[in-house]
Amino acid sequence: MAMRGSAMEQGSLAGKVVVVTGAARGLGREYARHLARQGALVTAADIRDVDETVAEITADGGRALAVTVDVGDEASTAAMAAATVDAFGRIDGLVNNAALYGGLSGGRFDQLPESDWQKVMDINVAGVWRCCKAVVGPMRESGRGSIVNIASLAAVYGLPFALHYATSKAAVIGMTRALARELGRDWIRVNAVAPSAVMTEGTAEFFGDKLDKAKDVIAAGQSLQRNLETGDLSGTIAYLLSDASEFVTGQTLMVDGGTVFL
């Protein structure tokens, strides 16, 4: 496919329709706000109330649609995609951000309840699959699209005492690569972003009273020694959704301050 337009035009999100799951708080809210500021029309989707996210986008002069979605239910993810097409006419991008993280109970791998394991796999892995299934039809109709799956440093570096979470994010990377192979013929790109622990409500919940110690240990292992904030990932997400990355697919971009090098 021939390159189109200037570099500035290729990096623009103006008019692109992007679905962001897990948009009620933390990283998802930041992604939705940033993409809207870049001109995208955003569907902010979450099992939680997203009205505050949409209100912030609207106050900034952007356009957003609030959708309640349960990524553990295929009918719900299909309804999310249908609502987006009804509102905006198409779907250009998906940010698969919804996941179980903050509320998880860690522990030695052989002591994790099987019910916790199954729930993490259903939401963090099958939930990504369901959302991809929901948007791929409209993307095929448009002749192109970009899916960005949120993985984690935990999948590459290894996170002890959270085997269910680390395994689920490793599966997201594998899914990203397989889907990139499968969907390339439709000019639908699939990439992943793997951040280190970002300072969100979910991270505070996950580490609990060990948060301060965890922050120090994480930062000390990075080449750029400060903890990641929500805004540190937004530019990478926007790049992968834009035409500036139109020949990038199947990749996992580490946004971890230089902890691991792939």
Catalytic residues: 165
Angle between helices 231-241 and 26-37 (to 10 degrees): 50
Q: Is 256 exposed, middle or buried (0-12, 13-18, 19+ CB in 10 A)?
A: buried
What values do phi and psi take at 11, rounded to 5?
-85, 0
